[in-house]
Structure 1
């Protein structure tokens, strides 16, 4: 295998997209895994999954990518660019497919159905993720230790163990963490007293002001956000967003071990505790 990879790195042509499209009638075969592609450019990009080549680097954080489109997508996380805006509610997104998924929370459309159990989903990606709960497929493997995952997010989190990357930083001290849950645990353990906000009505304490603001609406009974599909009203926009998943079938919280998806994070935590511990 190493000899084949060396051959691929040193001898393969480097066609551009334009030339590749002109030769699209002829299939190209990967010498490592045998997969075929309609043009040499697609094969060249595919080869990087074997060689580990990542020629596109972020000038801000030095993270590298195998294709330029992934680099462009990553850069938006630094600059905060969200150019895809929902015409219904005004919510903005960095990626068009995120907007497309969001729009279906308004329409309630679920065009993708599982042929095994009948579950319906608003986008094909959610269906594909769901299918792995039936097949047990784990297509995302770590290049360092070989651990496999059903979801790409599981692999990305796992890779941080090898790279030492800690993208989640504490606002109160220099501590940084590889996963968000570890940051949340740190804040509650180390900084909860210095950041505590108290409800003047019942005395309940909160670590964030917006949590206190949301709590106060339980006293006032104010419900400022309503569902345009069924009319249910909620005191906070985050509750409305969670509710909309009932209509859309969206399940954004996926188990990195088996691929099962859930509408709320608490259900994912309960699943992990019950099934995998």
Structure 2
């Protein structure tokens, strides 16, 4: 018994001294526990010894299998004392509690942005390191998160396991389905604290906030012009590369933007889908009544 206690104490002391005597022979990463090294080695060998008896999915860690089993049993043993919401994992509850305390303990050493959990910080750091460790075996496209690789693989298999029970539309991500459901409920849970405008997606709110802060975090590496949206930067880059990936199937004219191609197609179909509610004239005539400027230049962001 004393030997066991002595061994546990010795291992615990390593967490205090930050000593990591166990080294991976493949990537040279170091660990303070031999068990942690053994588990890490499975990332190299791709070994997954722990199998789910229900769906036969395999895992490299027993703890991951135990957590996975709760997706079958629907068990959620960890409850928030504030709002009573329940979670299957203690870590998920711990992260959730930060939404009540607004506490962000984890800070990025590069840009000083703060996060509520270490996982979010770890994912954020990949932005700075440009590291994309997850690779698609089909097209070799790389991703910074495993969660992004899995839905991407479905673009090759055309698999869409998530189905809307209202309109039967299918999605390859559960998050896309969840967002889609808001179109049926008209729910807009994300509210701007400045102007109180509401949005059905957090990403839309985040993008909207840039209109208040005037922040333009996306910079062109060629001419250093800055943009508030990554999509605008991507489109702008085509002015340097002269790339025009969208081609008209009728006259083969090419465009840098899908929206430009869509508008161009109307010149072939003679379709005028936009009707004025004042005088029934079609196309962009309504703007003469509202004086609204709907279209924004992706190069200089001026609205017309």
Report the TM-score, using the length of structure 1 for normalisation: 0.54
Residue 116 of structure 1 corresponds to 110
Matching residue of 1:148:
142
Picking from 152, 162, 169, the partner of 1:158 is 152
**Pairing 1:77–2:71 present:** yes
- In the TM superposition, residue 113 of structure 1 has moved relative to its aligned partner by 2.5
Decide which of 37, 41, 49 is 2:43's aligned counterpart: 49
Structure 1 range deviating more: 120-129 or 140-149 = 140-149
**Counterpart pick for 1:128 among 122, 126, 140:** 122
* Residue pair 1:93, 1:99 contacting (<8 A) in 2 also: yes
Cα deviations across residues 90-132 of structure 1 (Å, max 9, x unaligned)?
A: 1112222221222122112222233333322222222222222
Report the CA distance shift for 1:93/1:104 in structure 2 as closer, same or farther (over 3 A): same
User: Does 2:224 correspond to 1:266?
Assistant: no
Structure 1 gap ranges (5+) = 1-17, 189-205, 215-237, 247-262
Question: For 2:81, what is the secondary structure of its paired residue?
Answer: coil
Which SS does the other structure have where 1:69 is aligned?
helix
| Aligned-partner Cα distance in 2 for 1:53–1:30 | 16
- Cα 1:86–1:94 shift into 2, 3 Å: same
Q: Which runs of 5+ in 2 are unaligned?
A: 15-19, 194-200, 208-227, 236-304
How many aligned positions are there?
Answer: 196
TM-aligned CA distance change 1:174 to 1:63, over 3 Å: farther
Q: Is the 8 A contact 1:157 1:179 kept in 2?
A: yes
Rg larger in 1 or in 2? 2
| Structure 1 residues 174 and 22: alpha-carbon distance in aligned structure 2, compared to 1, 3 A threshold | farther
Displacement, 1:52? 1.2
1:86 aligns with 2:24: no
Q: Which has the higher contact order (CA 8 A, sep 6+)?
A: 1
Counterpart-to-counterpart distance in 1, 2:57 and 2:159? 10
SS of the residue 1:116 aligns to: coil
Q: Contact (CA 8 Å) 1:132, 1:150: kept in 2 or not?
A: yes
Provide, for residues 156-204 of structure 1, a one-character-per-residue CA deviation record: whole Å limited to 9, x for no partner. 323556788654245479986533477689x99xxxxxxxxxxxxxxxx
**CA separation of 1:108 and 1:28: change in aligned 2, threshold 3 A:** closer
Aligned to 1:30: 24
Structure-2-length-normalised TM-score: 0.50
Q: Distance in 2 between matches of 1:78 and 1:89?
A: 24
